[in-house]
Amino acid sequence: MTKTLRTREVLGVGESVGRPDATPKVKGEFAYSSDLWAPFMLWGATVRCPHPHARIRRIDVSTALALRGVHAVLTHEDVPGHKLFGLEVADQPVLAWDVVRFQGEAVAIVAADHPETARRAAGLVNVDYEALEPLTDPEVAISPDAPLLHPRGNVTRHVKIRRGDATASADVVVSGVYELGMQDQAPLGPESGLAVPAEDGGVDLYIATQWLHRDRDQIAMSLGLAPDKVRLTLAGVGGAFGAREDVSMQIHACLLALRTRRPVKIVYSREESFFGHVHRHPGRLTYEHGATRDGRLVYVRARILLDGGAYTSSSPAVAANAACFAVGPYRCPNASIDSIIAYTNNPPCGAMRGFGAVQTCFAYESQMDRLADVLGISPIELRLRNAMHGGDAVLPTGQRVRGPVPVAELLKRLQALPDPADQVTSPADLRALPGGVSNTTHGEGLRRGVGYAVGFKNVGFSEGFDDYSTARVRLELADGRPVVNVHTAAAEVGQGLVTVCAQVARTELGVEEVVVHPSDTSVGSAGSSSASRQTYCTGGAVQAACQAVRQEILRRAGSGDWEQASSELIALLAGEAVEATREFRHRPTQPLDPETGQGHAHVQHAFAAHRAVVDVDVELGMVRVVEIATVQDVGRAINPQAVEGQLEGGTAQGLGLALMEEVQVEGGVVRNPSFTDYLIPTILDMPPVRAEILELGDPEAPYGLKGAGEPPTISSTPAIVAAIRAATGRPLTRVPIRPQDIAQ
Amino acid sequence: MRLACRVNGHERQVDVLWEGESLLYVLRDRMGLLGSKNACEQGECGSCSVLLDGTLVCACLVLAMQVDGRDLVTIEGLAQHAALHPVQEAFVEAGAVQCGFCTPGLIMAAYDLLQTNPDPIEPEIREALAGNLCRCTGYTKILDAVRLAGARMGRP
């Protein structure tokens, strides 16, 4: 035994370890799903319905099929297995027949030898539609006499929470109606992948997704194949944010590959992407808050109506989240919440970062500001008086929030951060003014405002879902040196999970060299890269598998002393590598009672708060966000630099919802499916982010960590809106805020 | 049609099968240079930014045949063998890369800025990168990266 291993914590948990994929990404060498190529590859294209609601009378593919270079044109008749798919409920046609329920729904697919040929052939598929009246108002959709879009009715889910006294009255009452437009995740990488037919009659799919196994199961169902005949490998993912939790082109590419017996690649254009994935639910939230004269909440009554669009997607879980977090991180003895999601002929809505908690946070934080105003106390003081504390933190569902509940601490720390509000912007530099070099103001009509908000949400899947992740860890010698191989099916979507897995392995096994293998379905499911859960669940699985490897090393060493055993590691591994596969499950959760909404539905709760400082040109309604400060408890920062990236990037998406991002839908028709007209924040829109990260430690979670990805997107929106209200005195009950809402 | 141009210092000739093919398509699918990215193909996101005769352009908005006889620098042309260009190195170190889909375009835009303005102030960096969308980072670490690269490149 001669070689000495390096100390355990090198590049381990808690360090800002650089991403292994950063170098190929900066060189342009990283292979995203749209970069794949195979010999004899064909290109797929999708025929989409231009109407939001229509009956299909006839589909004629003959002209398209006759085009030179076209190899296949498929319709619903060519789907050999289950003709419906869906994340929670299989209710969306793989290819529509009979009725089309939203604009852009897929009707036919084409494979050709050039992408332009495929697009032209798609245009030659002749579909005879009878346009039907679209049902686009969710309020109308759930009324008793509305025409049914689905056999079981137009209510996707109605979650009721009843806690305390439903008739409670209070000295001070404020009420409001709040609306949110439809936000798009807008990951920069378009939906894309490559399906390769296999000799065993199955198919291999290289795909950008958030959840390989759930995709696999849906694909296999529709192909009529056993799941082991459908093998998925994660290709490079250009962002996700919820947009890749549902299937988009996966089944289509596999159908075309199996039919043509050639590899088929599908890459959506940006316009098609807007029709090819679900969006964040727009909503209308009606709130009433009752409080004592000294500002203690007595009751909250809320009716949350969200538009789920044409198909179910993840709406049932979004409805539950909206209900459970509808009161905010505040103590309130009485609550009556109705959270309803409706089917309409609008684009389907589903997962996006923040998942139900974003919509309610905008409403309850707006209400808290309104209450503070009526009571004549500061918004921070009102929040501090009502903040949940560890010990007495109970959700309206009756669930006690375990672990640190730092609501008051977040607000106090936020307030203590240096305040740029006193620095007066110099009108000398246009670039620092609302409108920038558009030269819209030289300081005339300029008002500054400051706003605060705090929010929270669940980490991991809830309501009794069997939420687990699987990791296979192998410790072996390579060229005489110990190397850890980590294999999971978890989707690296940009968040940095690939780094986290390596850090965990280094910390647990004290071995510096770690290889994180490509994610695929040859290992057990890792669950979804969503709900801020992967560092918790897959990090936990890698930790558990490493600990099992460690036990085997100790057994071989015949010693209980890890220091001793690890100093002999090379000898202990000389005969045989050590491998272990482990599943990690967080604490089980329970369903919500269907009548009262009571139940321990969630495992972990993560909290964040934001302060926004804005300059507003009240004459033209232009806004410049001067600075955003945020404080968030991440339990333990496994990789501080990556955590900062989540806080900064998540805050930017919240800014987008506050100020510019909306999929504009009129009569079921999307008016702005492009980055020309759907605006996401640029580097000119995004101010510096002053972030303070707390590590308060959750004793029940691996390393004490809390999921960190979503909280930044929750409270950033209401903080910015509050700041604009402070600057303008306008009520501003709808996001995104438009210039005409300010300069009325 | 035969297209001849100079790409990253090398003479390249490829056949363009359809006159509508964009420079981005030809780079990616005919030359195998996949580093320029296809995020919007509408000239809005900057992910396909390349230098055409020294001018920063969106490759998706240039017809391939327009570059006949001209000089291109793409993201693949910045690193010198194993050594990253200082802009690339700074993006890695500053944590400016998450999903990375915007990264090649942002690096090209930052490289272009630092060629002409080695010591930009923050508003100048923001203006120069305003044509490049990033959905992951919130741009904070991208600004850090450009400042870091500028400082390093300015050193003798």
Tens-place pLDDT, residues A241-266:
999 999 999 999 999 999 999 999 99
The reply to whether B71 touches chain A by the CB within 8 Å rule is: no
Buried-exposed string B108-117: b where 16+ CB fall within 10 A, e elsewhere:
bbbbbbbeee
Tokens standing for residue A125 = 């598929």
pLDDT of residue A498: 98
Question: CA dihedral in degrees (A551, A553, A556, A562; nearest 10)?
Answer: -90
A84, A99 Cβ separation under 8 angstroms: no
The reply to whether A426 touches chain B by the CB within 8 Å rule is: no
User: Over 50: is that where the pLDDT of A1 sits?
Assistant: no
Residue A263's nearest CA partner among A43, A32, A71, A95 is: A43
User: Over 60: is that where the pLDDT of A497 sits?
Assistant: yes
The reply to whether B58 touches chain A by the CB within 8 Å rule is: no
B8, B108 Cβ separation under 8 angstroms: no
Chain A hits for B123, CB-CB cut-off 8 Å, are: 429, 431-432
Nearest by CB to A27, from B29, B88, B135: name it. Answer: B88
Nearest by CB to B140, from A267, A684, A688: name it. Answer: A688
**Rounded distance between C-alpha atoms, residue A717 and residue A612, angstroms:** 9
Question: CA dihedral in degrees (A179, A180, A182, A184; nearest 10)?
Answer: 180
Q: Do A645 and B95 touch (CB under 8 A)?
A: yes
User: Over 60: is that where the pLDDT of A701 sits?
Assistant: yes
ipTM over 0.90: yes
The reply to whether B143 touches chain A by the CB within 8 Å rule is: yes
Please, which contacts does A286-289 make with residues 24 or more away whose CB atoms are closer than 8 Å?
A286/A175, A286/A176, A286/A177, A287/A175, A287/A176, A287/A177, A287/A178, A287/A363, A287/A364, A287/A367, A288/A173, A288/A174, A288/A175, A289/A173, A289/A174, A289/A175, A289/A367, A289/A368, A289/A370, A289/A371
- Give the burial class of A272: count Cβ atoms within 10 A of its Cβ; 0-12 exposed, 13-18 middle, 19 or more buried: buried
Q: Do A23 and B36 touch (CB under 8 A)?
A: no
Tens-place pLDDT, residues A561-579:
999 999 999 999 998 999 9
pLDDT of residue A559: 87
Residue by residue, DSSP assigns B73-85 as E-GGGTSBTTBPP
Residue A118's nearest CA partner among A47, A189, A60 is: A47
**Rounded distance between C-alpha atoms, residue A114 and residue A188, angstroms:** 23
pLDDT of residue A7: 44
Q: Mean pLDDT across the stretch B81-99? A: 96
Nearest by CB to B130, from A432, A642, A684: name it. Answer: A684
Count of pairs with CB atoms under 8 A, one residue in A, one in B:
179
**Rounded distance between C-alpha atoms, residue A377 and residue A366, angstroms:** 15
pLDDT of residue A424: 56
pLDDT of residue B156: 55
B7 forms beta bridges with B10, B72
The pTM of the full predicted model, rounded to 2 decimals, is: 0.97
A132: distance to nearest CA of chain B, Å? 32
User: Over 80: is that where the pLDDT of B100 sits?
Assistant: yes
Chain A hits for B141, CB-CB cut-off 8 Å, are: 644-645, 648
Q: Mean pLDDT across the stretch A127-156? A: 97
Q: Where are the beta strands (DSSP E) in chain B?
A: 2-7, 10-15, 49-52, 55-58, 71-73
The reply to whether A641 touches chain B by the CB within 8 Å rule is: yes
Nearest by CB to B41, from A269, A493, A681: name it. Answer: A269
Q: Do B99 and A238 touch (CB under 8 A)?
A: yes
B22: distance to nearest CA of chain A, Å? 11
Tens-place pLDDT, residues A653-698:
999 999 999 999 999 999 999 999 999 999 999 999 999 999 999 9
The reply to whether B81 touches chain A by the CB within 8 Å rule is: no
Q: What is the mean pLDDT of chain B?
A: 96
B156: distance to nearest CA of chain A, Å? 24
Q: Please name the residues between 115 and 174 in chain A that touch chain B, using a CB distance below 8 Å.
A: 115-116
Residue A147: Cβ within 10 Å count: 11
Q: Mean pLDDT across the stretch A556-565? A: 93
pLDDT of residue A427: 63
Question: In terms of DSSP bridges, do strands A604-617 and A578-585 run parallel, antiparallel, or are they unpaired?
Answer: unpaired
Chain A hits for B93, CB-CB cut-off 8 Å, are: 18
Half-sphere exposure of A145 (CA within 13 A, CB side): 0
Q: Do A22 and B100 touch (CB under 8 A)?
A: yes
pLDDT of residue A426: 61
A631 forms beta bridges with A609, A692
The reply to whether B2 touches chain A by the CB within 8 Å rule is: no
Residue A578, H or E segment: strand A578-585
Q: What is the mean pLDDT of chain A?
A: 96
Tens-place pLDDT, residues A224-237:
999 999 999 999 99
- Give the burial class of A376: count Cβ atoms within 10 A of its Cβ; 0-12 exposed, 13-18 middle, 19 or more buried: exposed
Half-sphere exposure of A399 (CA within 13 A, CB side): 27
**% residues pLDDT > 90 (chain A):** 95
The reply to whether A197 touches chain B by the CB within 8 Å rule is: no
pLDDT of residue B82: 81
Tens-place pLDDT, residues A62-80:
999 999 999 999 999 999 9
Q: How confident is the model at residue A391 (pLDDT cuts 50, 70, 90)?
A: confident
pLDDT of residue A4: 40
User: Over 60: is that where the pLDDT of A9 sits?
Assistant: no
> Residues 6 or more apart from A438 whose CB is under 8 A from it?
none
pLDDT of residue A422: 59
pLDDT of residue B155: 66
A103: distance to nearest CA of chain B, Å? 20
